[in-house]
Amino acid sequence: MTSKPSGAAGAFADWTTRRWLRVGVAATLVVLTVLGSLGGWAMWRTSHITSALVDRRSPALIESMRVEEALVNQETGVRGYGLSGQRDFLQPYAQGVTGERAALERLRPLLTGDGRARADLAEVERLAGTWQ
């Protein structure tokens, strides 16, 4: 008396070569489809992040540094005038005010859609206005 193998081995014992090939090819296609989809998603996500970095975040960082530079120039002018009393020392202050306005005008549109950054900018403007 021959007994059939039990369990999982018994379930695959009757499979033909054709069936094994079909299952193998199907499994390979499923894996390739999943990997291809993940690769496509990764490319899309990378493109999206790069675009945001190049088009918005880097220019916003540069403009925020220009705002800071303008505020430092204003402070330098006030300090020079305060120490010497000479009006020539107010030139960095005037340039700083002009530079600050220009940088803020370029910075605001770059922060559209970023509530936190806009709130931070509003706070910086408020504090700079108080100082001025």
User: Per residue in 5-60, pLDDT tens?
Assistant: 556 667 788 899 999 999 999 999 999 999 999 999 999 999 999 998 999 999 99
DSSP calls for 82-126: HHH--GGGGHHHHHHHHHHHHHHHHHHHHTTT-HHHHHHHHHHHH
Say what the pTM is: 0.70
Question: Considering the domain boundaries, does residue 102 fall inside one?
Answer: yes
Q: Is residue 111 domain-resident?
A: yes
Let me know if residue 97 belongs to a domain. yes
Which of residues 74 and 3 earns the better pLDDT score?
74
Per-residue pLDDT at 121 exceeds 70: yes
Residue 54: burial class (beta carbons within 10 Å; 0-12, 13-18, 19+): exposed
- Give domain status of residue 109, yes or no: yes
6 domain-assigned:
no
Q: Which residue range is the domain that position 90 belongs to?
A: 19-131
Average pLDDT of span 67-83: 93
Considering the domain boundaries, does residue 2 fall inside one? no
pLDDT value, residue 26? 97
Mean pLDDT for the chain?
A: 91
> Is residue 13 assigned to a domain?
no
Is the pLDDT reported for residue 80 higher than 60?
A: yes
Instruction: Specify the number of domains making up the chain.
Output: 1
pLDDT, average across residues 58-82 = 94
Asked if the structure places residue 12 within a domain, the reply is: no
